[in-house]
Structures are given as structure tokens and as C-alpha cells.
């Protein structure tokens, strides 16, 4: 049984001697034992690992064929008490024809045999000389000495309950126009295993790496690839022992090529997550329906019990953030998407101005940057932007100064409206005591600001640009019909953690004075600034002190929306991802807050403004997330 759908997959590249089956079998056994010590669930070996791939016409020799069968029996016996499901290749004679087959072993039994579909017959590869392709196989099972009747065919899937389900294609199968893995994935395989013999040529490794990663993405699957190594014959070509594990387009593990002694690589893959992704990807299920595939033969694995501690899992604490290598390009893409969306809306509405409230906080800073980019796209002057500061009871000198300086440096039209007097008047109209720091005290300010922006837009023939972000939308951390509302919300699919990254990217490209302002905004605690400051003038109302860290909320949001992770799984993953940063108590409490607020605040998401989608997760009620406003959270709160 895995941990919340995670399985540990291993790719082995054992030391091999050509035609020395006894040596090769011992080498494979040693690798399986090593994989078992690492609590691997599945371990894949290269093509023809029991005999060596480069045996040539020696494959015709009954002596070699029988030795391979004995090696298979020895391997089954030696590993019978070990956990990993083991996949090895060998030559197998069936009805006077020789087939290149992958044998699946577990607990001392051969569960199935999968023949190679596509046999190369070009350059240095002449497999059609020795072997026959899978399509020429006329039986569905074979009598295997010592194992009895064993299923054989390319329609075999091997499954542990509904989570781990793997299929096998062999080497050239992947390089074909229509790889069998596409069919296997549509038939239910969430993991594809490829025992391979790919020779090494200058420049081939990057292509191979990209091919494996892309196929895993196309199949919404994990892909394990293990190729033969330097122990093969170097008569005409050299093999590097390249091993790769990809997870839905991401390279999860890769070995160092040309290692003479071989080795193993591991990746903890979330098979439950892959299933969730397929369920929400309509194109995957459409492809399944269009293919009209015959049902595969599913072979049950004996229950896998090894614990999975997830030390080989890819669990970034901030999953919305790009890697450092991708940061510049990804940030530019996001900013361009935001700016292009706003430019289109501005052009379509023929608005004369872009009206935006600027507080000196993260969200309004990013929205103002996007407004400036949109104006540049349309070749409009920066004066098109009407940036409004609206100091209130909680405004601090730090945020106010940053807002004013940024607007000055950008050269936008500015306006200041102090909301204190209007709010006090409204408190009197409501018979409300402003010494009471309740929701009324805070929301009157938020709605006053929105009223000012909307009316200024009417006065100037403009449109109000919303500043609220995806994290706030998920948590409902906005005032209904206050900062909740705008005419176009440019940050609506950008979480708080990503906003910091985007502003940092812009700061790196800015002149020193602007860069300094932007960095100070990044360093300022997140706050709605609706309650009075501390005695020293600093921010006293800190959002993350109330809600919990946005790092955690964004982590929960990512795994909850994208992959349907349960609360127990969210908590477990967060404990692993943030074990050096946050206490278990804080993680648990923040998760409870996330679930409670996500369910109770749907009514705000049901009527949010238009805005551009920039990533795979968004909460627009017009397509990305459809949920009743009165859904109960009880089963998520147990």
C-alpha cells in the first residue's frame, strides 16, 4: 500500500557481460535487493539484461535461450521474498519464432510477458534478423518452464488496486509514429515502463530525454526508461546506460551516463494525482472514446506494502513558482498575458482611462505594472492611467510613500482621496461606533474606496482595474462589492506567492530607484490596512497572522484544485514540503482555515469580474471552477 497514491519507481542499469547469463542474473538480483532496501515498488531493467542486448545471431542458439530461462527462474527464486515488481527482458521462442519479451516478476512468479511491437532494422540495428514483432504472435499465453501458463501479449496491464497501473513498451516502440504507450495509457496505464537499448551518439541524449518527457506528458503518465550500458559490445556502437524517469512532462530523475558499474535511480510518483489529472482533462477521455480500444487484460499485482516515505518525491513548497532557470521567461509570459488581456479590454470598451487604486501593497503594485505594459502595447501615454491613493484609518507611512513614489516614477496621472471623513460620516449614518473594530469598520472603508474608483471611472470615461489575486479569491479575503469588484481583474489567476516573484522580476529590470521601491513593497508585510497602525506607525494588522502563511494556502490551493487532494493528503504533503519552515500545529491550523474559508466564500467567486487566466489553475465561475455557493464542507473537515 502506497502513501496517498505515491509509488516508488526505480530504473536500474546493472553491470552486464555479453552472453554471460549467470553474471548478468547475479547483477540483476543485486540491483533488485538494493531497490528493495530503498522500498521501491517497481524496478525496471534494460532490454535483454539477462543475456546482453548485443548478442546478435547468438540469440538463435538454444543454449543462450535456455540459459536465459534458467536465469529468469533464478531471479524469481532469489527475489521471491522482496517487495519490488521486477521487469527484465529475454529472448523467448514461441511456435518456432523468437520474440523479444519483457517478463514481469513478483513474489517469485512471472505474471506476464510483453513482446516488442516495433523491431528496428536500420543502421546498426538488425533485430528483424533475429526476432519477430508482436503482431505475429498467435497465442495469448505460453507454457513457461517452472512457472506454468503465463499470459503474453501487448494488451497486458499490471495493477495494484486502482492507483498503480503500468504497461510496457520496448525501446523502438517509443520512437515509432504511434507508440503503444498511447494505447496503454488510454486503456488505463498510469505508468509506462520501457526497457531499452538505445545507443549513444553525439547529441542523442537530449533528444532521448525530451522524447521520454514529452511522451509522459502526452499520456498524462509517469514514464520509466532504462537503457543498456557500457557493458554491451562496443564492436560498432557504444551504449551509455541512460536511465530516465519522467512524470507528466517533468523529468523526475536521471542517472549519469557511461557509469561502468551501473546503478539505480528512483522517483516517488503520485499515481493518484495522475488519475485526477486525467479525470479533469477532457481531451484525455475524448481520446479514449474516439480510439474505441478493446479492453486490456489486467493482471493484479500482489498487494504492494512497502512504505513510501516520499524522499524521492518532487514536492516544491511553492508549486506556482517557476524554477530559477525558467523564471525570466515565465514571468515575461505572465506579464504579457495580463497586459494583452487588459489591452484588448481597453481597446474594446474604448475607455479613456484605466482607473486603479494603489495602496503600496503587492497586488496593486503588480496591477499598476500591468496597466503600464498595456498602455505601451497600445502606444498610449502613461497619463492614460489614473492611479488613486486613498489613505484611511490603517494606512501607514511606508505603504503610502511607496505608492506615491512608484506612481511618480511611472509618470501616471495621480489623485489622492482621503477616505477618513467620508467613512466617519457613513458611520454616523449607520449609528455605528467607530471604536468597535468589527467587519463593519473595515468593510465601510473597502466599499468607500471601490465607490470612489467606480465614480472616477464614470467621470473620466474609464474602467476600474481590479487588483485582487487568486489567493484572496480562494479564501474570500475581500469585501463583497468592495475590493471584490472591478471592471477587469488582471491578477485574478495569480496567487500571492507568484506576485512577489513577478514584482521581483520587474525590479531586476528597473532603474535603481524603482527597483528599491519595488523591493521594499516585496518586503512589506501583507495587510489590508483597515485597522489603525501600531504605536510606532508600523503595520499592526497582518493578514498572515490572521489567516496563516500564504505559502501554505497557495500550496493547499494547488493540490486541492489541480489534483483533488484530500485534507489528509494535503496535510501530509505540507508537513514534508515545509518541514524546515512551519510547525505541524501551524500547518494543521492553516489547513483548517483554508478548507473553512474556501467553502464558505464561494458566493464571492460566483460573481467575480472578468480577468485573464495565466496558469492551469483559476477560479472563474465561467469555466474554471463551478461550485454551488452553499456546498457543505463537513466531509472535508473530519
pLDDT digits (tens, 9 = 90+) for 186-219: 999 999 999 999 888 888 999 999 999 999 999 9
Residue 284 is predicted with a pLDDT of 85
When pLDDT is cut at 50, 70 and 90, the band that residue 622 belongs to is: very high
**Per-residue pLDDT at 108 exceeds 80:** yes
Per the domain annotation, does 554 fall within a domain? no
483 with 417, same domain? yes
pLDDT tens per residue across span 133-149: 999 999 999 999 999 99
Predicted pLDDT of residue 292: 76
pLDDT on residue 215: 97
Residue 527: which of 506, 513, 514, 541 has the closest Cα? 541
**27-55: average pLDDT:** 95
Residue 578: phi and psi, rounded to 5, are -115, 25
Evaluate whether residue 140 is within a structural domain.
yes
Q: What is the pLDDT of residue 1?
A: 47
With vertex at residue 613, the alpha carbon angle to CA 611 and CA 618, rounded to the nearest 5 degrees, is: 100
- For residues 9-47, one letter each, b for 16 or more C-beta atoms within 10 angstroms of the residue's C-beta and e for the rest, the string is bbbbbbbbebbbbebbbbbbbebbebbbebbbbbbbbbb
* 165: β partners: 159
Q: Considering the domain boundaries, does residue 400 fall inside one?
A: yes
Q: What is the pTM of this model?
A: 0.92
Q: What is the mean pLDDT of residues 526-549?
A: 94
346 and 265 fall within a common domain = no
* One domain for residues 216 and 335: no
Phi-psi category of 219—alpha, beta or left, where left has phi over 0 and alpha has psi -120 to 50?
A: alpha
CATH at residue 392: 3.40.50.620
Which of 542, 559, 584 is at the close of a domain? 542
Asked if residue 369 and residue 445 are part of one domain, the reply reads: yes
**Is the backbone of residue 123 left (phi > 0), alpha (psi -120 to 50) or beta?**
left
Claim to verify: residue 203 and residue 349 sit in the same structural domain: no
136, 226: one domain: yes
Domain coverage including residue 425: 327-542
| pLDDT tier at 152, thresholds 50, 70, 90 | very high
Phi first, then psi: what are they for 495, rounded to 5°?
Answer: -75, 165
- Asked whether residue 503 is assigned to any structural domain, the reply reads yes
Say which residue the cell 500564504 belongs to: 550
Same domain for 379 and 522, yes or no, is yes
The predicted pLDDT at position 448 comes to 98
Domain-embedded: residue 310? no
Residues with a catalytic annotation lie at 47, 116, 171
So what's the pLDDT on residue 122? 67
Q: Is the model's pLDDT at 329 over the cut of 90?
A: yes
Residue 632 sits at φ, ψ, to 5 deg, of -85, 140
The per-residue pLDDT for range 560-580, each reduced to its tens digit, is 999 999 999 999 999 999 999
Q: Is residue 16 part of a domain?
A: yes
Q: Binning pLDDT at 50, 70 and 90, where does residue 248 land? A: very high
Q: Are residues 434 and 331 in the same domain?
A: yes
What single DSSP character describes residue 523?
H
- In a shared domain, residues 284 and 342: no
Where among 518, 542, 566 does a domain terminate? 542
Specify whether 265 is located in the same domain as 358: no
- 232 and 371 fall within a common domain: no
Supply the CATH number for residue 25's domain.
3.60.110.10
What does the pLDDT average to over 382-409?
97
Of 261, 283, 300, which residue constitutes the final position of a domain?
Answer: 300
Domain assignment present for residue 364? The answer is yes
Average pLDDT value over all residues in the chain: 94
Question: Do residues 332 and 296 both lie within one domain?
Answer: no
Q: What is the pLDDT of residues 353-382, one digit of tens each?
A: 999 999 999 999 999 999 999 999 999 999
Is the model's pLDDT at 528 over the cut of 50? yes
* Domains: count for the chain: 2
What number of H helices and E strands is found in the chain?
21, 20
Does residue 1 sit within a domain? Answer: no
Cell numbers standing for residue 261: 558499474
Amino acid at each position: 500500500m502506497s502513501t496517498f497514491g505515491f509509488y516508488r519507481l526505480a530504473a536500474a542499469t546493472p553491470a552486464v557481460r555479453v552472453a554471460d547469463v549467470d553474471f548478468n542474473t547475479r547483477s540483476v538480483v543485486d540491483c533488485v535487493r538494493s531497490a528493495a532496501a530503498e522500498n521501491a515498488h517497481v524496478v525496471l531493467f534494460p532490454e535483454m539484461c539477462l543475456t546482453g542486448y548485443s548478442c546478435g545471431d547468438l540469440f538463435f542458439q538454444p543454449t543462450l535461450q535456455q540459459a536465459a530461462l534458467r536465469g529468469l527462474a533464478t531471479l524469481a527464486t532469489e527475489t521471491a521474498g522482496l517487495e519490488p515488481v521486477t521487469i527484465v527482458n529475454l529472448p523467448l521462442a514461441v511456435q518456432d519464432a523468437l520474440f523479444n519479451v519483457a517478463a514481469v516478476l513478483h513474489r517469485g512468479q512471472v505474471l506476464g510477458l510483453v513482446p516488442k511491437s516495433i523491431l528496428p532494422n536500420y543502421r546498426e540495428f538488425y533485430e528483424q534478423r533475429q526476432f519477430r514483432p508482436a503482431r505475429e504472435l498467435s497465442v495469448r499465453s505460453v507454457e513457461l518452464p517452472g512457472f506454468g501458463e503465463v499470459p503474453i501479449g501487448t494488451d497486458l496491464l499490471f495493477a495494484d488496486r486502482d492507483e498503480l497501473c503500468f504497461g510496457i513498451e520496448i525501446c523502438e516502440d517509443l520512437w515509432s509514429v504511434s507508440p503503444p504507450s498511447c494505447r496503454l495509457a488510454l486503456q488505463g496505464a498510469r505508468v509506462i515502463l520501457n526497457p531499452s537499448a538505445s545507443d549513444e551518439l553525439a547529441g542523442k541524449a537530449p533528444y532521448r530525454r525530451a522524447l521520454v518527457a514529452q511522451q509522459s506528458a502526452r499520456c498524462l503518465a509517469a514514464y520509466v526508461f532504462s537503457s543498456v550500458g557500457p557493458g554491451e559490445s562496443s564492436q560498432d556502437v557504444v551504449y551509455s546506460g541512460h536511465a530516465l524517469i519522467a512524470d507528466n512532462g517533468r523529468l523526475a530523475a536521471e542517472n549519469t551516463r557511461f557509469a561502468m558499474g551501473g546503478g539505480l535511480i528512483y522517483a516517488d510518483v503520485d499515481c493518484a494525482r495522475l488519475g485526477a489529472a486525467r479525470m479533469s482533462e477532457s481531451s484525455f477521455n475524448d481520446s479514449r472514446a474516439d480510439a474505441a480500444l478493446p479492453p486490456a487484460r489486467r493482471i493484479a499485482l500482489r498487494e504492494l506494502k512497502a512504505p513510501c516515505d516520499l524522499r524521492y518525491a518532487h514536492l516544491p513548497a511553492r508549486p506556482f513558482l517557476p524554477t530559477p532557470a525558467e523564471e525570466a521567461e515565465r514571468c515575461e509570459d505572465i506579464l504579457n498575458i495580463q497586459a494583452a488581456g487588459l489591452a484588448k479590454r481597453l481597446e474594446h470598451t474604448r475607455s479613456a482611462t484605466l482607473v486603479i487604486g494603489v495602496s503600496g501593497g503587492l497586488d496593486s503594485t503588480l496591477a499598476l505594472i500591468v496597466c503600464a505594459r498595456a498602455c505601451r502595447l497600445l502606444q498610449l501615454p502613461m497619463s492614460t492611467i489614473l492611479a488613486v491613493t486613498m489613505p484611511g484609518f490603517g494606512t501607514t507611512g511606508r505603504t503610502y510613500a511607496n505608492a506615491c513614489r512608484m506612481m511618480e516614477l511611472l509618470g501616471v496621472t495621480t489623485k489622492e482621496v482621503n477616505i477618513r471623513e467620508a467613512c466617519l460620516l457613513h458611520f454616523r449614518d449607520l449609528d455605528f461606533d467607530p471604536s468597535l473594530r468589527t467587519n463593519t469598520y473595515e468593510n465601510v472603508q473597502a466599499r468607500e474606496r471601490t465607490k470612489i474608483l467606480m465614480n472616477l471611472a464614470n467621470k473620466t470615461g474609464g474602467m476600474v482595474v481590479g487588483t485582487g489575486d487568486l489567493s484572496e479569491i480562494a479564501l474570500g479575503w475581500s469585501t463583497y462589492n468592495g475590493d471584490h469588484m472591478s471592471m477587469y481583474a488582471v491578477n485574478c489567476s495569480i496567487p500571492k506567492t507568484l506576485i512577489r516573484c513577478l514584482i521581483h522580476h520587474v525590479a531586476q529590470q528597473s532603474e535603481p530607484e524603482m527597483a528599491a521601491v519595488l523591493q521594499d513593497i516585496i518586503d512589506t508585510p501583507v495587510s489590508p490596512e483597515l485597522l489603525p497602525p501600531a504605536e510606532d506607525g508600523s503595520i499592526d494588522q497582518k493578514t498572515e497572522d490572521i489567516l496563516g502563511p500564504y505559502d501554505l494556502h497557495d500550496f493547499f490551493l494547488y493540490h486541492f484544485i489541480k489534483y483533488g487532494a484530500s485534507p489528509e493528503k494535503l496535510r501530509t504533503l505540507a508537513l514534508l514540503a515545509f518541514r524546515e519552515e512551519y510547525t505541524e500545529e501551524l500547518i494543521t491550523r492553516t489547513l483548517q482555515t483554508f478548507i473553512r474559508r474556501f467553502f464558505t466564500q464561494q458566493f464571492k467567486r460566483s460573481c467575480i469580474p472578468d480577468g485573464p487566466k495565466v496558469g492551469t489553475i483559476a477560479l472563474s465561475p465561467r469555466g474554471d471552477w463551478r461550485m454551488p455557493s452553499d456546498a457543505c464542507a463537513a466531509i472535508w473537515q473530519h
